[in-house]
Amino acid sequence: MNIKEFINQLPRNIFSGFVVSLIALPLGLGLAMASEAPPIAGIITAVVSGIVVSVLGGSHVTITGPGNGLVGVLLIAFTTLGFQAAYAAIICSGVLLILLGFLRMGKLSDFFPSSAIQGMLAAIGLIILGKQFHIMLGNRLELDSSLDYLIAIPQTVIGAFHYENIQLTHAALAGVVALLIMIFYGKIRNKYLQLFPAPMWIVVISIATSYFYELVLKEDHPIASDYMIPEIPSGAEIISTIPTPDFGLMNSWPFWSSVIALTLIASIESLLSIKAVDQLDPQKRRSNVNRDLKALGVATIGSGFLGGLNVVTVIARSSVNVNNGGTNRSSNFAHALFLVSFVWLFSSQLTRIPLPALMAILVYTGYKLASPKLIKKIITVGKEQLLIFFVTLLTTLFIDLITGITAGLLITFIIHVFVNKSALLFLRNIGKPNVLMYKESSDNYYLSIKHFCTFLNYYKLKIQLDMIPENQDVILDLSLCQFVDHTVLENLNGYQSIFHKRGGHFEIIGLDMHGADSAHPFALRRLIPGLPFINSNLTKRQKTLKEVAIELQMIYEAEKSRNSDFLQSFKYFQFKKIERVYNRIFNHNKLFKIFDIHYSEGELITKADVKTTMLHIKLDNDIPQFTLDREGFLERIYGLAGFKKIYFKNYPDFSRRFFLLGKKSEEIQDFFSTPLIRFLESNPYYHIESDGNSLLIFRQDRTLGIKEVKGLIDFGKRLHQVLQKPV
Amino acid sequence: MIEHSFNNIAIGIAFSPKLQANLYEAARLAQSFNATLSMIHVGEESVEKREKITNYLAEFSKKNLKYSIVFKTGNLVEVMMQYLKTYQIDLLVLGALQKEHFFNYSLGSISRKIARLAPCSVLLLIKPSVERVVCQHIVVNGLKSENTPMTILYAFYMANKLNSKRITIVEEINKSTLSIKVKDDATLRKANLQREKLRRKENARVDKILEEIPEDYKSKVKVDKQPIFGKRGYSIGHYAQISRADLLVMNAPEKTNFWNRLFPNDIEYILKELPTDVLIIK
């Protein structure tokens, strides 16, 4: 990037860094306290990461800092390992993150089924919510497991109405007000209200209330002091009280289990965030994920040595950054500097924030991760996804995170085996390079996937997809795939939207024959041989075909059509058996119809199946029978029917490029007028066949993508016009 | 020009339901190449068996097909190898099995062993048919290997003998030759430039091979080149399958040792998962 541009954009990056720091401040304090670390640890994390990652990182508009996904793991680390050993664990996970970066494991997050990841995040959300809910209502509890905290929630709610200590009631009140602010902030559209993000409003109101009591009412603060943020150390104190990490536990299993869990969550949360933020980037840049992982690792090590927590890329703060005009990493840097100045200038004011208010912010984020809406969404995808989700969620809650995600992986695989009634499909083919990509002669990329495509081998597909510039046309053919799972379809949908945003085109074909159990577009799909073709779940291609039909004021029908007799008069189908005609788009009198067709050549053992898209136009007047082909493939077959090649002396180039075959050469020569020949020469090539009063137009041996369907319709319409003009 | 023709064709016979189809395919090939057909059956000789074969081939012998039927006993693989060597067979025809899955074909383990060890070219048929099915599209590998010019020459020879209309030369470019790893926009651009360059280089190499092919072979077929990036020996099978090729012509592996069999490469993939009829040139 050139320096001038950088300086030009600096002011808006500094501004957006400022807005982000307003959220980062309360969140940093809250997340640190939720993890049982000193509140300042969250700020240290954000500052160190902002400085390190903005210098070393490979992404553009991401913001880094303490993440909510890590709260659960950090909590366990701090409570079971003790302070100094927990910092050692954080540093070790930083080293592992760097290692992951060097091993190019930026694809790590692709190995997890998306429902399992959602289940894991929901469990983390519940852990945060369960723990902080009690503090929010002024009831500090010490319980064994995160599940106990959740079970105790009703008790706390009832208890909140019966506090004997009025200070606790005030604390609960502060918590409830803060929670209401979080909930209703997004629903109220007001210019002045939107000036600050919601968490900052909570901070500002808390501090203002505190000053109101002190200066106006001259009273003590109404909330008990142990429900206020403990003292924030000054800059000098922070440096003098840096904890010394204790690596003494390094050969114990709990230590490494914490390190692995920290690394796993930190990398998954970061990678998912980077992927999501890349979609938000208005400049459509691609992040260097592995480089970002290395930078996050370095930042985590630094943060661990300075008394901070694990560093991750965070989605919420990053999207605020984009919304406020952040364009490069300098906004992350600015956010760190603003945090330093806040703590430096206002450290005494920060202690005026009641803990319940701060925890309300976390309760809200926790709820967001595990909201019932999410479960509803998963149900629509399919019941099996719900099973994966709950197995992961419950295992995470009852045992721990690593076991949880492992259970999620296993149950997903078991479900896939069960759905397909075959483990062999997966075991036999998992090692095979099942993705083939090449550039077709028309310059679009064509990908074909064989056997199966699930979370197990999605990374192979991803490697190929990442090699395609997003402004290109891509056709992804899944027709050789027996099974495609939800994770893959969801990820492909992400690719579709990226390609769409960046001027490219990404189409999935070959799924129309696969069966699905639910109506959701990402429901897993299985190719079921011999099952009736009744399918209420339209694929994305089918839905778009429907839209195209409506756009062109035509009718769309996905179901198989009984009537394929109109094709029998074409020589092309002389030796072919039409299996089914489906996905039809036609105009009102059915004179112009486009359809997918599945036909087979030969019988029994020599049978070859072909699926393609064709256009059929019924003409008003009779025309000679002919066939126009570029390759001359069909010469022999038509030879049987008495067809011969027809030359045009006046159009040597046309005659060289096209094979025109027919019986009545004179009639055909008359029919091929100059405008028609010019039209055919100057347009993309299609195979055209006439049976005497209608035309059959098609091109390839495969089903066409939407863009190609539109091209075919357009070609057909214009050809029709040329033919209708009086010669 | 290099000598390239099939004069002695052999087919191993098992008395399976596919016998007739296999025989018909082999006999038709022998006729197209004007070659003699030897049928080997490892097992006890009987008049009945001989009659069955003669009956099947009656139609072909009317059209002057020269054939012989040989009965031998012993170890199937050893006997076959012995025969192929002594009688200077240059093309062995083998039938494949259809797997339980609906679009997978594979060779039985014995056939696979024979295909690997055979000193001559091997044609593997996945869908032998009594009726003649026209072979329209031939896919041939354009690997960077000293055997490739010969293989491509044979592909053209087959195309002419079988009246095929189209040959696609597939250049499998190993992914490891792409030194630039895609990390972000800049590296993506560079990587794509590198791919384009490799593609052109490969096309130039294949063009050179094509120059050596006799004109009258080239005049009747449409020749395409398709560079693909992928696993050697596997991606070409996948390509043949999606482009609905009728015949895939491949180099024989340069060496088959213990390691090659542990880590399947080149031809091994194809033998396990036949995409279409495959001809291995040796």
Q: pLDDT grade, residue B266 (50/70/90)? A: low
Do residues A551 and A571 make contact, with C-beta atoms less than 8 angstroms apart? no
Q: Identify which has the larger pLDDT, A337 or B16.
A: A337
The residue written with tokens 């639910």 in the block is: A518
Beta strand spans in A17-62 (E): none
- Residue A56 CA to residue A48 CA, distance in Å, equals 12
Tell me what pLDDT residue A333 has: 93
Do residues A627 and A642 make contact, with C-beta atoms less than 8 angstroms apart? no
Chain B neighbors of A286, CB-CB under 8 A: 184-185, 188
DSSP code for A400: -
A331-340, A351-360, A572-581: which is most confident: A331-340
Contacts 24+ apart (CB under 8 A), A655-661: A657/A630, A657/A681, A658/A628, A658/A629, A658/A630, A659/A628, A659/A629, A659/A630, A659/A631, A659/A632, A659/A635, A660/A626, A660/A627, A660/A628, A661/A626, A661/A627, A661/A628, A661/A629, A661/A634, A661/A635
Judge residue A554's burial from the number of C-beta atoms within 10 Å of its C-beta, 0-12 exposed, 13-18 middle, 19 or more buried.
middle
Chain B neighbors of A477, CB-CB under 8 A: 242
Q: Nearest Cβ partner of A58 from B184, B195, B244? A: B184
Tokens of residue A603, six digits: 């019988």
Lowest average pLDDT, out of A100-114, A183-197, A427-441, B239-253, goes to A183-197
Contact A290 B102 (CB under 8 A): no
Which of B129, B172, B173, B184 best tests the A interface by mutation, with the highest count of A CBs <10 A? Answer: B184
Tokens of residue A560, six digits: 């198989």
As a whole number, mean pLDDT of residues A229-252 equals 75
Gyration radius of chain A's alpha carbons? 32
State the average pLDDT for chain A. 80
CA B260 distance to own-chain centroid = 19
Tokens of residue A710, six digits: 């539109």
pLDDT tens digits along B34-48: 888 888 888 777 888
ipTM higher than threshold 0.90: no
The helix (run of H) or strand (run of E) holding residue A313 is strand A312-314
Q: Which residue of B has its CA nearest to A286?
A: B184
- Residue A477: C-alpha distances to residues A96, A448, A642 (Å): 37, 5, 38
Q: What percent of chain B has pLDDT over 90?
A: 0
Residue B91 CB: number of other CB atoms within 10 A?
A: 26
The helix (run of H) or strand (run of E) holding residue A613 is strand A608-618
Would you list the domain boundaries of chain A?
Answer: 3-384, 385-424, 428-528, 547-724
Chain A neighbors of B166, CB-CB under 8 A: 631, 633
Tell me what pLDDT residue A531 has: 40
pLDDT tens digits along B113-157: 787 778 888 888 877 777 777 778 888 888 777 778 888 888 888
Q: What architecture does CATH give domain A428-528?
A: 2-Layer Sandwich (3.30)
Contact A436 B101 (CB under 8 A): no
Q: Nearest Cβ partner of A433 from B182, B235, B239? A: B235
Tokens of residue A551, six digits: 């756009």
Contact B182 A467 (CB under 8 A): yes
- Residue A235: C-alpha distances to residues A36, A38, A244, A345, A665 (Å): 21, 15, 17, 10, 95
Contact B166 A631 (CB under 8 A): yes
Lowest average pLDDT, out of A45-49, A211-215, A291-295, goes to A211-215
> What top-level class would CATH report for the domain B1-132?
alpha beta
> How is domain B134-282 classified at the CATH fold level?
Rossmann fold (3.40.50)
pLDDT tens digits along A485-530: 888 888 888 788 778 777 788 888 877 766 666 666 666 676 654 4
Q: Which residue of A has its CA nearest to B264?
A: A432
- Residue A122 CA to residue B71 CA, distance in Å, equals 71
- Residue A510: C-alpha distances to residues A523, A536, A605, A611, A694 (Å): 15, 17, 23, 9, 28
Q: What percent of chain A has pLDDT over 90?
A: 7
- Residue A215: C-alpha distances to residues A207, A220, A446 (Å): 12, 10, 72
User: Quick one: which of A27, A32, A14 has its CA closest to A75?
Assistant: A32
Equal CATH topology for B1-132 and B134-282: yes
In this prediction the pTM is 0.71
Would you list the domain boundaries of chain B?
Answer: 1-132, 134-282
- Residue A28 CA to residue A39 CA, distance in Å, equals 7
pLDDT tens digits along A660-710: 888 777 888 888 888 888 888 888 778 888 888 888 888 766 788 888 888
pLDDT tens digits along A67-97: 877 888 888 888 888 888 889 999 999 999 9
What is the DSSP annotation of A441-484?
TTS-EEEEE-EEESTTTHHHHHHHHTTS-TTSEEEEE-TTEEEE
- Residue A421 CA to residue A607 CA, distance in Å, equals 26
